[in-house]
Structure 1
C-alpha cells in the first residue's frame, strides 16, 4: 500500500526550509531547486505544491502569520482579566518585532517578499490585502481605546493605525540592522503606546 502523504505537513516543511535559507544567506539568490534540496525533496515534488517562488513566499508568510497569531493569542490568554486594547496592541506589535532568531528569520522572509512586490503586481496585491487587514485590526483597537476613555477622542483611529504600522516597520528594520537592541526596540513601542493611551483630551 503506498505511503499516504500529509500535504499540509509537506508544505510546512518546505516553508521551514525556506526560513533556514533566509537565515543562512537571504532569499534573493535562492531558487526553487535550492529550497527543494534544503527540504530533502525533489524539485518535481516541490513544484507539485508551488509552481513559483512567489507562491512559496506567499505560503511561508501566511504560515508565519498563523504561528504569530497563535503566539499572540497565547500571550493574551495567559494574562489575568480582560485584555485592554493597549495590551492587545502591545502583544501584537511585540510579535511583529525581530526580538529573537525565529522572528528575525520571519522578518527576512517578509523583506524578500516586499522587494519582489515592488516589481510584480501579484505579490503586491497580496501584500496590500494583508496590510489593509492589519491596519483595520489596529484601528479597531484604537477605537476601543477611544470608547474606553483611554485614547484622546480627537485622534483618528485610522491615522493612528497607519502610524503604528509605520513605527513597527521602521523599528523592525533598524533592529535587523542592529541599530537598536531588542530591548530598545520594545522600549520605543512602549513609549508610543504610553503616549497614545494617555487618556481623553
Structure 2
C-alpha cells in the first residue's frame, strides 16, 4: 500500500526551510533550488507544492502569523483586555530563538514587500487584523479620556515593531523591551 503524504506537513517543511534561509541571507537571493537543498528534497518537489517563490513566501508568512496566534491562544488563561494585549504582543517580540527567527523572517518579508505588492498585501492584512484586535481590547477596557483606540492600537504595534528591531540588533535587553511595553500598556490600560 502506498504511503500517505501529508501535503500540509510537506508545505510547512518547505516553508521552514525558506524561513531559515531568509533569516540567514534575506529573501532576495533565495531560490527554489536552495530551499530544496535546505529541506533535503528535490527541486521538483518544491515546484510541486509551490509554483513560484512568491507563492512559497506568502504561505510561509501566513504560517508565521498562524504560529504567533497559536502560541498566544495557548499561553493566555486570562480574558482581561490588558493581559490579552500583552500576551499577543509578547509573542511578536523576539524573546526566544523561535521568535528571533520569525522576526528575522518578517524583516526579510518587509524588505521584499517594498518591491513586491503581492507580498505586501499579506502583510497589510495581518497587521490590520492585529490592529483591530488591539483596538477591540482597548475599547473593552475603556481607554483613558482622549485616547482613540484605533490610533493607540497602531501605536502599540509600531512600538512592538521598534522594540523587536532593537532586540534583534542588541540595542535593548529583553527586560528593557518588556519594561517599555509595560509602561505603554499602563498608560493605556492603567496599572
User: Aligning the two structures, in what range does the TM-score lie when normalised by the shorter sequence?
Assistant: over 0.9
Partner of residue 182, structure 1: 174
Alignment counterpart, residue 83 of structure 2, candidates 83, 87, 90: 87
Asked if residue 116 in structure 1 is aligned to residue 112 in structure 2, the reply is yes
Distance 1:25 1:181 in 2: 24
Partner of residue 11, structure 1: 11
Which digits, 9 at most, give the CA deviation of each residue in 1:134-193, with x for residues without a partner? Answer: 1111110111111xxxx2132111110110111011111111111011221111111110
Partner of residue 45, structure 2: 45
- Corresponding pairs, count: 191
| SS, match of residue 146 in structure 2 | coil
The runs of 5 or more residues in structure 2 that have no matched partner are none
Distance 1:57 1:70 in 2: 20
Which digits, 9 at most, give the CA deviation of each residue in 1:122-145, with x for residues without a partner? Answer: 111222122111111111011111
Partner of residue 31, structure 1: 31
Distance 1:91 1:177 in 2: 23
Partner of residue 98, structure 1: 94
Distance 1:24 1:122 in 2: 23
Which digits, 9 at most, give the CA deviation of each residue in 1:41-66, with x for residues without a partner? Answer: 11111011112222212211211221
Distance 1:169 1:16 in 2: 22
| SS, match of residue 83 in structure 1 | coil
Distance 1:132 1:72 in 2: 17
Instruction: Judge conservation of contact 2:27–2:112 (CA < 8 Å) in 1.
Output: no
Distance 2:112 2:22 in 1: 15
Partner of residue 167, structure 1: 159
Distance 2:58 2:176 in 1: 30
Distance 2:113 2:25 in 1: 20
Distance 1:22 1:101 in 2: 15
Instruction: Judge conservation of contact 1:135–1:162 (CA < 8 Å) in 2.
Output: yes
Partner of residue 137, structure 2: 141
How far off is 1:23 after superposition?
4.2
Distance 2:148 2:53 in 1: 39
- How big is the alpha-carbon RMSD for the aligned residues of Structure 1 and Structure 2? 1.5
| SS, match of residue 145 in structure 2 | coil
Instruction: Judge conservation of contact 1:57–1:109 (CA < 8 Å) in 2.
Output: no
